[in-house]
């Protein structure tokens, strides 16, 4: 049973993991083909990449198509599935090919494993990131290049420009201190006081998903299961209730200070230091004390 692997980028770790997963399915006797999509310097266009990949699949009819569990791997394979009218399973940790195929895959951001059956051929799946070790780098010469479709309908959604992040100073992932705000901050303007405290401490500002959903901060500031995982010396949670999905991103913090007027908030169960109070009073008061101590 031939296996086809979609490689996003030859050197990228998740693509190498997809190749290792594909090899484990192909075994010693079955052929393994690896393809990457090229588009001559034009921007990435998911439908154009998927169109090209779908044609390769229709020609070769592999038993399974394996893609990396990256955003792009999932996006391209979802487009392929729609084009070929096939089901797709994302973030798989194992698969037994057959009719139906049986997969185990990560759900809910990795908090549970689901066993599922997939009816359809070929089986389309992406590999859960870091569920399998890359077993040595595949020589780029062994990866076949296929040109992306240039049909105008496939280019309606494409990357037209790249704008570097406006984040100045220390990055969230590397910061020694993170001052993070939740819904309790109340507005985008409410983050000015948190930015000031972060700047005094040489840290970075983070936030909860309630904040990014409200559009108060960009997604790049989000901490948690579906955001950045942080590991500062001190994490200051202001107006954050302490949902498990938020705390999933804070596990690496050495100390956690929580500021919340609700003494029953679950964040306090994980906190090393607790201030039961209004962040709009407490955060400026901490900044004022730091300035006073520094004589500035």
Residues of this chain that interact with ligand FAD (CB under 6 A) are: 108-109, 182-184, 208-211, 222, 224-227, 239-241, 243, 245-246, 249, 259-262, 265, 278-280
Written as six digits, the tokens of 149 are 């479709």
Give the residue with the Cβ less far from ligand FAD, 22 or 239.
239
In angstroms, give the least distance from the CB of 222 to ligand FAD.
6
In angstroms, give the least distance from the CB of 247 to ligand FAD.
9
Those residues whose C-beta lies under 8 Å from the C-beta of residue 231, and which sit 6 or more positions away, are: 173, 252, 253, 254
Give the residue with the Cβ less far from ligand FAD, 138 or 279.
279
Give the residue with the Cβ less far from ligand FAD, 26 or 240.
240
In angstroms, give the least distance from the CB of 261 to ligand FAD.
5
Those residues whose C-beta lies under 8 Å from the C-beta of residue 141, and which sit 6 or more positions away, are: none
Residue closest to ligand FAD, measured at CB: 224
| CB-based burial label for 88 (10 Å; 0-12, 13-18, 19+) | buried
Give the residue with the Cβ less far from ligand FAD, 210 or 234.
210
| CB-based burial label for 263 (10 Å; 0-12, 13-18, 19+) | exposed
Those residues whose C-beta lies under 8 Å from the C-beta of residue 19, and which sit 6 or more positions away, are: 5, 7, 32, 34, 134, 135, 138
Give the residue with the Cβ less far from ligand FAD, 8 or 221.
221
In angstroms, give the least distance from the CB of 198 to ligand FAD.
16
């Amino acid at each position: 049973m031939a296996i086809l692997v979609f490689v996003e980028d030859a050197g990228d770790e998740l693509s190498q993991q997809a190749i290792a997963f594909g090899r484990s399915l192909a075994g010693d006797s079955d052929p393994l083909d690896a393809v990457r999509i090229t588009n001559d310097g034009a921007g990435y266009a998911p439908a154009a990449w998927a169109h090209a990949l779908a044609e390769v699949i229709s020609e070769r009819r592999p038993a399974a198509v394996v893609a990396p569990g990256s955003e792009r791997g999932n996006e391209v394979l979802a487009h392929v599935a729609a084009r070929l009218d096939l089901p797709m399973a994302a973030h798989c940790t194992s698969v037994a090919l057959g009719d139906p195929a049986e997969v185990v895959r990560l759900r809910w951001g990795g908090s549970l494993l689901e066993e599922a059956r997939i009816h359809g051929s070929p089986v389309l799946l992406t590999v859960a990131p870091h569920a399998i070790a890359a077993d040595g780098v595949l020589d780029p010469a062994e990866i076949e290049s296929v040109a992306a479709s240039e049909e105008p309908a496939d280019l309606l959604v494409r990357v037209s420009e790249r704008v570097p992040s406006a984040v100045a100073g220390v990055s969230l992932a590397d910061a020694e201190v993170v001052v993070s705000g939740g819904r309790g901050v109340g507005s985008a303007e409410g983050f000015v006081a948190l930015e000031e405290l972060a700047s005094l401490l040489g840290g970075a500002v983070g936030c909860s998903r309630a904040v990014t959903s409200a559009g108060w901060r960009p997604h790049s500031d989000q901490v948690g299961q579906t955001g950045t995982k942080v590991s500062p010396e001190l994490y200051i949670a202001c107006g954050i209730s302490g949902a498990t999905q938020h705390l999933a991103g804070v596990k690496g913090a050495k100390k956690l200070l929580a500021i919340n007027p609700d003494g029953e908030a679950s964040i306090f169960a994980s906190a090393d230091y607790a201030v039961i109070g209004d962040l709009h009073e407490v955060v400026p008061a901490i900044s004022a004390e730091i300035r006073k101590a520094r004589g500035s």
